[in-house]
């Protein structure tokens, strides 16, 4: 299989890392994702990864319960760092070289994020895991994914989630919900589709960054997406 894309940004859902559990990290899911990333890495594809933290703590959920929003968001950023370190560990077991770069300085466990350093790691064939979002409260990891994708000059942003694409409604609650094969950025915004936050979609639209949404738990989907097969929903592009 020949890759269609040579450099990608993969956004992984933190909540999907729970597997069947209600909290935390499922080792089985993490190792499965690591194996799939290893397959893509073996194709010579340059890869950056942004990972969410919803399996541990979501800042917006803490704020809804009375916490200071900025402080809650910083806690959420640290949750993404935990996930990033777990993914790095799983990748090492698959013999895939990787580095964790954090937007918040936590030098004991991760390198500080510097764009030039990230690009050098990618050029040397390492998978770069971006932790702690943008380093700023009030911004989601979706926005961080769009930002990092543009910074590393990725050809596409892969948003890997628990569903197999973008639907007109929640497919679990509404069996009649329609799945879209493709959408424009404006359609996502005007229809209020909850695939990514508006800031991330607007940033992708401004710079023409395609976004592919697909199911990360279906075996082989990351490799299929990299090779240009018809999986999920393509936004823009």
Binding-site members for UMP are 53, 73, 134-141
Coil, helix or strand at residue 125: coil
- Residue in the structure block whose two tokens are 């949404």: 213
From CA 38, how far away is CA 135, in angstroms rounded?
Answer: 28
125: left (phi over 0), alpha (psi -120 to 50) or beta: left
Q: Which residues carry a binding-site annotation for ATP?
A: 11-14, 54, 58, 161, 167, 170
Strands 111-112 and 98-102: parallel
Rounded-to-integer distance, Cα 79 and Cα 14, Å:
9
Distance from C-alpha of 168 to C-alpha of 151, rounded to nearest angstrom: 31
Distance CA 201, CA 213 (A): 12
Residues contributing to the annotated binding site: 11-14, 53-54, 58, 73, 134-141, 161, 167, 170
């Amino acid at each position: 299989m020949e890759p269609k894309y040579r450099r990608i940004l993969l956004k992984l859902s933190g909540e999907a890392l729970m597997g069947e559990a209600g909290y935390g990290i499922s080792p089985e899911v993490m190792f499965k994702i690591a194996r799939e990333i290893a397959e893509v890495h073996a194709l010579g594809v340059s890869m950056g990864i942004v990972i969410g933290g919803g399996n541990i703590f979501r800042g917006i959920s803490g704020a809804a319960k009375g916490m200071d929003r900025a402080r809650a968001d910083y806690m959420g950023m640290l949750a993404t760092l935990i996930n990033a370190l777990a993914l790095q560990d799983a990748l090492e077991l698959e013999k895939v070289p990787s580095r964790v770069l954090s937007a918040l300085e936590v030098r004991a466990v991760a390198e500080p994020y510097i764009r030039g350093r990230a690009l050098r790691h990618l050029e040397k064939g390492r998978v770069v895991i971006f932790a702690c979002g943008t380093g700023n409260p009030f911004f989601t990891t979706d926005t961080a994914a769009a930002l990092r994708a543009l910074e590393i000059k990725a050809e596409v942003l892969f948003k890997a989630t628990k569903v197999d694409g973008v639907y007109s409604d929640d497919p679990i609650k509404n069996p009649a919900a329609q799945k879209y094969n493709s959408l424009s950025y404006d359609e996502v915004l005007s229809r209020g589709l909850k695939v990514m936050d508006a800031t991330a979609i607007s940033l992708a639209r401004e710079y023409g960054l395609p976004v592919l949404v697909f199911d990360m738990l279906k075996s082989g989907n990351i490799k299929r997406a990299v090779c240009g097969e018809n999986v999920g929903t393509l936004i823009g592009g």
